[in-house]
Amino acid sequence: MGENFVLKIGGSVMYDNSLNVNEALLAKVKNWYMNERKNYKKVAMVVGGGSLSRDMQEKISSSVGGEESLHNIAMSVTQTNAAILQGYLEDMDIFLPKKLGDAYEFLMEENQKTLLSGGLKIGWSTDMDAAIYADILGVKTVYKISNVEFLYEADPKTEINTKPILDISWEEYFKLFNIVDGDNHVVNESIPIDVNCAQFCAKKGISFFLCGGKYIQEKESVQEILKAGTLIHP
């Protein structure tokens, strides 16, 4: 049995453009889980909200008062996504915490069990939840599957000749996205790792490995998807 493992699944890849569940990806995650789970002491998985969360917020923002209410709704979507993933994994022993304190207590227990969650604190991204779990478990690298396979030197949608970045420090990441001390997380901000999470990881010595994108369809397994991407490190 190896060390602990933290996997973040971006909400952007949980659904297609029509908001149908990405069953092909979830089948690969299930296969990975069934084959690899035994190799780790603790596994913590976090699921984001993605397009479903953004779509819901946009539709109700004019009717729901207060930023905190919108945050709370977005967080509930991520928790629903976590429950959906648990259903696909068919492992009812997986723990789905509703509070951060419950997650902390579970991760500190001496057993070989799995935690699966959405967001647990208003104002945090689910990347931040994953980073917190990594810090609790002593995990040095969080693996994040999202809709981009690499970081790029420029936006590949507008700069077709831009090159992928395979390795980048947090300091270089801050410069790339113009992040300065004092910046805070902005809900639904289009950035691979949000500001607060990136700053936390830089201070705690935690890395993120970004992967996925086109490889979600091209690769036959999560094991293969996790081999190609960008490492953001201290």
Q: Dump pLDDT digits (tens) for 40-89.
A: 999 999 999 876 666 666 666 556 666 666 667 778 889 999 999 999 99
- Residues 145-158 have pLDDT tens digits of 999 999 998 888 88
The H or E element that residue 23 is part of is helix 23-36
Query: For residue 115, what are the β-bridge partners?
Result: 44, 95
Q: Report the SS3 class of residue 106.
A: helix
Distance CA 142, CA 194 (A): 14
Specify the CATH number for the domain of residue 212. Answer: 3.40.1160.10
Instruction: Give the range of the structural domain holding residue 169, as residue numbers without chain letter.
Output: 5-233
pLDDT higher than threshold 80 for residue 164: yes
User: Are residues 42 and 107 in contact, defined by beta-carbon separation less than 8 angstroms?
Assistant: yes
> Which pLDDT belongs to residue 39?
94
The number of folded domains in the chain is: 1
Question: Is the model more confident about 201 or about 183?
Answer: 201
What percent of the chain clears pLDDT 90, i.e. is strictly above it?
Answer: 69
pLDDT in the model for residue 92: 86
The residues, ordered by sequence, that sit 6+ positions from 128 with a Cβ below 8 Å of its Cβ are 121, 185, 194, 196, 197, 200
Contact, 107 vs 137, CB < 8 A?
yes
**Which helix (H) or strand (E) segment is 200 a member of?**
helix 195-204
Residues 6+ apart with CB under 8 A from 67: none
Contact 149, 226 (CB under 8 A): no
